[in-house]
Amino acid sequence: MGKIILTGDRPTGRLHLGHYVGSLRRRVQLQNEGDYDRMFVFMADVQALTDNADNPEKIRQNIVEVALDYLSAGLDPKKCTLYIQSQIPELAELTTYLMNIVSVSRVQRNPTVKTEVKMRGFGENSVPLGFFCYPVSQAADIACFKATTVPAGEDQAPMIELTRELVNRFNQIYAPVLVEPSLMLPENAVARRLPGTDGKEKMSKSLGNCIYLSDDAKTVEKKVKGMYTDPTHLNVSDPGHVEGNAVFTYLDAFATDQDFADFWPDFKNLDELKAAYTAGGIGDMKCKKLLMKVINRMLDPIRERRAQFEQDIPEVFNILKKGSEQAREVAAQTMDEVRKAMRIDYFNDAALIQEQAEKFKKQ
Ligand code: TRP
């Protein structure tokens, strides 16, 4: 059994730098390293609809935005299959069968879903059933492709754990058809959680503290200028703190030694700048100016590709259509095996028909 990488996002908004360091950059690396048999990246619109039933237009719009983000960040449809979840009806079918082998209380015991229910302000009695069940649907997303490796954040750990349980139970009850996946976490702390420009714990659309992959250079400059730094660093000569200072956290995530050589040659690398800032004498604005250049340099090639794809939206849809067709072939193959294992492949089972014919025939 080879290595199959699969991951996805809910298309509920444009992707930001938090998505980029946390997952997108890694996906592009994984894709280009080529150490896999197959790689799938998909837009989980069915999952997004579980708490946006009244706003399908939002999901529809963000399918295009996220596709543009994927393609411009460097995901390459020749190397990885890009598709839309709703276009793979086999996933709904597998979800139905997996629901039979898990209890309501097991699904209820999911810390990520609990947090989301609170955040959405669903009262105890107004959680949509589809939303409640989405972890099972996510297990189907993964199992239907026999994914071995799911690159995702810590918040997805409960989903992977449930998937493993369901895969095991399915294989035990029916036949060993499905594959247990494992979670591949981001490699370091910055990648795990990039703070917002306001220094708050997380970059998040609802907090309005995001820098988007699709932001232009001027917007990035404005957002970086307004960033949270070190509230105790009042005068340039004061010693500064880099811990909890969002500008330095971003530099940690993005600045390269080449950036220092080109933009601030007084320092060889970030460690040297941090030492000087900590000692005192380095102004926040200078650090922000560096950060603007670093981010804009990193985003420039992404913006260029985005601008090209934006001029050919029909091609973007074409890529997703082809990807969805390719993904569907794989899912359909798994479902043939699933139905066979579950003994519901009635019409493909010549022996069954023969046996039943004999059983009921009048002698
Ligand atoms: N739950 C993921 C998110 O909120 C999206 C998702 C759906 C997913 N199905 C998946 C991620 C399967 C990895 C594998 O972003």
Element (H, E) at 83: strand 81-84
The whole-chain average pLDDT of the chain stands at 96
Question: Residue 156 CA: which ligand 1 atom is closest?
Answer: 1
User: What's the rounded Cα separation, in Å, for the pair 349 and 239?
Assistant: 77
Write phi, then psi, for 16 (nearest 5 degrees). Answer: -115, 180
pLDDT in tens, 165-174: 999 999 999 9
Which band of pLDDT confidence, cut at 50, 70 and 90, is reported for residue 1?
Answer: low
pLDDT-derived band at 363, boundaries 50, 70, 90: confident
Ligand 1 in contact with 141 (CB < 6 A)? yes
Contact 334, 144 (CB under 8 A): yes
> Could you tell me which of 72, 64, 82, 62 has the C-alpha nearest to residue 12?
62
- Cα angle: 331, vertex 333, 339; to 5 degrees: 100
Would you say how long the chain is, in residues?
363
The response to whether residue 179 sits with its C-beta less than 6 Å from ligand 1 reads: no
| CATH fold for domain 4-193+312-353 | Rossmann fold (3.40.50)
| Closest to 327 in 3D by CA, of 110, 3, 4 | 4
Strand partners, 42: 8, 83
The architecture in CATH of the region 215-308 reads Orthogonal Bundle (1.10)
Summarize pLDDT for 197-228 with one digit per residue, the tens: 999 888 988 899 999 999 999 999 999 999 99
Q: Is 117 helix (H, G, I), strand (E, B) or coil?
A: helix
- Number of Cβ within 10 Å of residue 171's Cβ equals 15
Atom of ligand 1 nearest to the CA of 153: 15
For residues 43 and 78, the answer to whether their CB atoms sit within 8 Å is no
The tens digit of pLDDT for each residue in 237-261 reads 999 999 999 999 999 999 999 999 9
Contact 188, 24 (CB under 8 A): no
Per-domain residue ranges of the chain: 4-193+312-353, 215-308
Mutate to test the pocket of ligand 1, among 5, 10, 12, 120 (most ligand atoms within 8 A of CB): 10
The reply to whether ligand 1 has any atom less than 6 angstroms from the CB of 95 is no
- Which of 16, 115, 117, 141 to probe ligand 1 with, by most ligand atoms within 8 A of CB? 141
